[in-house]
Amino acid sequence: MRELFIDFETYYDEKAKYSLKYMTTLEYVRDPRFKILGASVAYGDHRAMWIDDIETLRAVLKQAAERDLIFVGHNAAFDACVAYEGLGVRFKRYRCTMLMARYLISQNILPPDSGTALRDLAPFVDMEKGHLDEALASGNVDEYCNLDVEICRALYNKYADKVPEIEWTFMSMHIDCSAVAKFDLDIPLLKETAEKAKAREHLFPVVRKDDALTALLAKRGVTVEYKRTPKGKDKPAFAKTDAFMKGLLEHPDPVVRQLAELRLEAYSTNERNKAQRFLDAGSPLACPLLYYAAHTGRSGGRDYNVQNMKRGGACRVALKAMPGKKLVIIDSSQVEVRTLAWLAHEEVLLNTFRRGEDVYKAFAGNYLFRKPIDEVTKEERQIAKPAVLALGFGQGVTGLIAYAKNYGVDLSDEMAARCVSVYRETFTAITGGRFKHKDGLWQREFAFALANGYTELPTKRRLYYPGLRKDGDEYVFTKHAIFLRDTTFPRLWPGVVIENIVQATARDLVFGQVADILAKYPQADLCLLVHDEAVLSVPEADAEEIMRYAEVAFKTPPAWAPDIPVKGEGHISDRYDK
C-alpha cells in the first residue's frame, strides 16, 4: 500500500463570487469564508471513507505523510494546497490523475480530443461521475465525494504503469510548487506597482489609439515614423522594439518621454495586474505550475502566470526568500542551441561549445564577418545572436528580422539574408545546406513525422501530430484538445518539427537536472520552473553547497545523452533578481 487517494470538499458561494471560478487557489483558501466540509480518503484498495471531523482528518493525513504515502488526487494541486494551508500537512510525493491524463493524451494512450475533467475520464473505467448540485440538495455530499475518489483510484490503477517514473517525479515537482508557498513578498513594492498604474489608467485609452498619439506627438513637434507590416500595411513604429519608440523614450522633451512610457504601459497590463493578484493571494506566495501545459511537455502558469515575468520587473524582484532561506537561481546556458547541435550531430557547433567559446562571437567572427573572434564588436555579436538562436528552426529573412527585434536588433533585408545563407551553409548537419538538398536534421525528422504521425525523443517520449494530412501544398494536423488555443489547423513544416523536438528534449534535460538536485538535497524546495531556469529555496547555511552542486548537475549530461555539452550558471540571492 503506497498511495493515499483523497478528495476535499470545501465551502463556496458562486453568487458572492467566492469560488475558484473567480479567485486564485491561495486567495480562495486564505479567505475568512474558507471551510473544509470534509474529505473522502482511501488507502490502497480499501473502500473510500468520508471524514468530516477536521481534527480526525488532520491526524489521518499527518500519519499518512509520516509513512511517506503518495498523495493522489484529481486536481491534486488544489487538494495538496488545502492539506497544507488548511491542515498544515505536506507530503513528499504527489500524483494527480488529471495531470496523468495530460500525459496519456499527449502520448496517444487516450484520444487526442479527450478532456481531463473527472467527468470526461470516468467512462474510460466504465464509471459515471455524480452531480455536485444534486449531492448538495440531497445532503449526500459524502457519497458524491467517495465516488469521486473511487473514480480517481480506478483511473490511477488502470493507467499508472503507462507513466514513466521520471514523469511522476516531474509531476510531483509541479504539484508541490503549486501547493506550498515558498516566496516571501515585497508588499510595499507590489503596492507601489499596482497603485502607480491605477493612477494613470484614465490616460491609457488615449495613448492606445495610433491616431490620437500621433496627433499628441505632432503638437510637440515630433513626426511619427512608420513601418511596413508583413501584410504590406504602414503602421506607426510604436512597438517597444522599434528604434523610433526607443528614441521617444530618450527624447529631450519630458512630455514626449511620458507619452511613450504611457503607450508601452497601456499595452503592457501584465505587470500591474500580476502585482495586484500577488497582493490578493498574500504572502507567502506559491507559484502554481501546470504540468505538461504544452505539446512539448513544457510547464505553464496557473492562476497568475509566473513564467512570463520580465527580468528586472517589479513582480519578479518582489519574490523574496523566506526568513532563514536563500534563493538558488540556476539557468541552463543556451540549452536549446546545444540540444539542437547534439541532435543533429553538428560537430562545428558542438566543438564551439566544447572549447568553451562564446557561440555568438564564434559565428560572427568565423562565418558571418570573417574576422578573428577577439575582433568581433559588441554590435556584430548582437547581430549574430538572434541568428544562432532562431535559424536552426527554419526561419527565413522576414522571420529573422522580426525575431531580432525582440533583442533590440534592427536587421536590414540584406544582413538578414546573409545571416540565413551563412547559417545554412555552415551548419549543414542541421539544415541540409543552403538549398536544403542534403540529408540534415530538418529533412530526417520531417520525413519521420510525415511517415509516422509523431516524432520520438531520445528519452522515448513522443510528440504526436493527430490527423496529420495533406491540405493542398501543405501538411496540417489537429491539435490535442488540451493544447488547443484556436480552431485553426496547425501547419506542419520542418521548422515546427525541429523546434518541437528541441524544446521537448531540452525540457526533459532541465527537468531531470532539477530532479537530481532535489533528490540530493531534500532540504531544497523548488519554487519555480521557467523553461531552462529553476529557482530553489534553500536553508541559508546550505546555500553555497547546494549552489555548487546545482552547477555541477546542470553541466552533467544525462544517461540518455552522455555526450551533450551542457552548462549551467547560477547564483545565490535574497530575491528573484536576474
May I ask the CATH architecture of the domain 320-335+505-573? 2-Layer Sandwich (3.30)
May I ask the CATH architecture of the domain 3-182? 2-Layer Sandwich (3.30)
Which part of the chain is CATH 3.30.420.10?
3-182
Which part of the chain is CATH 3.30.70.370?
320-335+505-573
Q: What is the pLDDT of residue 268?
A: 63
Q: Cell for 302?
A: 496557473
Q: What is the pLDDT of residue 97?
A: 98
Close Cβ partners of 549 (under 8 Å, ≥ 6 residues apart): 517, 520, 521
Q: What is the pLDDT of residue 270?
A: 67
Q: What is the pLDDT of residue 197?
A: 63
Mean pLDDT of each 10-residue bin along the chain, 578 residues long: 93 94 95 97 93 97 97 97 98 98 98 96 96 81 94 98 98 97 96 78 83 92 85 84 85 90 75 87 95 94 80 90 98 96 96 94 96 94 95 92 86 94 96 86 96 98 96 93 75 94 97 98 96 96 98 96 95 92
Q: What is the pLDDT of residue 488?
A: 63
Q: Give this prediction's pTM.
A: 0.89
Per-residue CA distances from 464 to 57, 290, 441, 457, 483 (Å): 42, 20, 18, 11, 12
Specify the residue for cell string 513604429: 237
Please tell me whether the peptide bond between 284 and the residue prior to it is cis, using omega within 30 degrees of 0.
yes
Neighbours of 455 (CB within 10 A): 19
Distance CA 570, CA 536 (A): 11
Please, what sign has the CA dihedral across residues 167, 170, 172, 175?
A: negative
Per-residue CA distances from 127 to 121, 175, 220, 479 (Å): 9, 26, 70, 27
3-state secondary structure (DSSP) of residue 320 = strand
Q: What is the pLDDT of residue 230?
A: 63
Q: What is the pLDDT of residue 269?
A: 61
